[in-house]
């Protein structure tokens, strides 16, 4: 959550219909190669190297946490795979973000208990993967790897952040909120705090215009969408909502839009 020195605004939108479309508009080198160390201290180990394969599932550390957890690790040419695992309940989803030196090319994937890929990311920094849209729950394996599988690795270090979030359908969604494929905006303040997309930092950005984007609501467990932003004390904020609905009886009272501060006032 934002600190108390920032003005934080949380936006809640609630539908009264079977299905609606919410449209939101927000106003407001050259370097030397680093020699890779053979002494690793990977996340989830006690001064050791994370497993390089899933061949022995019992050897893969099970990361137990709620909300969010972060850690670091190393990939070296002789050991360029790392594996972790997280257990998800039937109404939980998972997301992970991998950051590394810009000169290197590390990738991250999520796999199910049978070794089938749920999601993978290989062309960004940071890399981001999620179970959202898969409908999968149970044991999720996190695979971190070097894309080239050969030297050089300029800086073997990486940082990984993992989030758990609540879902209404075991991690599945067919929504594409804010233009993100298979992404549903958080349905509660608890889910909002665990969502890696929020809060959006707008401090010092004024004047700022987000453009127009869209999201969806329905009464199948997704009748609320939450967003959060941080502002400086001398900045204001405005948001405008347009909507359409599959319900022909929709009136001007179909959706409720509120702006709240960090204390939910």
Q: What is the pLDDT along the chain (265 residues), one digit of tens a residue?
A: 444 344 444 444 443 333 333 333 333 333 343 333 456 667 866 667 888 999 999 999 999 998 889 999 988 887 789 999 999 988 888 999 999 999 988 999 999 999 999 999 888 888 988 887 778 889 999 999 988 777 788 888 999 999 988 775 555 556 788 888 778 888 777 778 888 888 888 888 888 888 888 888 765 556 688 899 999 988 888 888 877 665 555 555 567 788 888 888 8
Neighbours of 247 (CB within 10 A): 14
- Least Cα distance to 242 among 257, 226, 258 occurs for 257
The CA distance from 128 to 139, in Å, is 19
What is the reported pTM?
Answer: 0.54
pLDDT for the residue numbered 32 = 40
Residue 126 pairs with which residues in a beta bridge?
none
Domains of the chain: residue spans and CATH: 7-28+174-260 (no CATH), 57-166 (2.60.120.380)
Q: Token digits for 157?
A: 């270090």
Name the one residue in this structure whose structure tokens are 């070097």. 146
The CA distance from 100 to 105, in Å, is 8
């Amino acid at each position: 959550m934002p600190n108390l020195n920032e003005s934080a605004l949380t936006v809640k939108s609630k539908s009264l219909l079977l299905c609606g479309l919410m449209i939101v508009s927000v106003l407001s080198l050259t370097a030397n190669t680093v020699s890779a160390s053979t002494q690793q201290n990977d996340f989830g180990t006690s001064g050791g190297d994370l497993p390089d394969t899933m061949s022995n599932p019992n050897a893969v550390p099970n990361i137990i946490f709620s909300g969010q957890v972060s850690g670091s690790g190393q990939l070296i040419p002789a050991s360029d795979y790392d594996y972790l695992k997280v257990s998800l309940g039937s109404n939980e989803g998972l997301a992970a973000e991998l950051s590394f030196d810009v000169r290197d090319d590390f990738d991250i994937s999520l796999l199910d208990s049978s070794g089938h890929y749920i999601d993978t990311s290989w062309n960004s920094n940071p890399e981001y993967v999620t179970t959202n849209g898969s409908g999968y729950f149970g044991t999720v394996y996190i695979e971190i790897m070097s894309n080239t599988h050969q030297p050089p690795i300029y800086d073997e270090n990486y940082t990984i952040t993992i989030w758990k979030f609540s879902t209404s359908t075991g991690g599945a969604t067919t929504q594409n909120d804010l233009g993100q494929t298979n992404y549903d905006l958080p349905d509660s303040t608890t889910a909002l705090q665990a969502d890696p997309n929020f809060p959006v930092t707008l401090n010092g950005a004024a004047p700022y215009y987000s453009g127009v984007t869209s999201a969806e609501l329905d009464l199948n467990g997704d009748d609320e969408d939450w967003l959060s932003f941080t502002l400086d004390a001398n900045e204001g904020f405005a948001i405008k909502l347009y909507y359409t609905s599959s319900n022909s009886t929709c009136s001007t009272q179909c959706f409720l839009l509120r702006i709240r501060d960090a204390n939910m006032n």
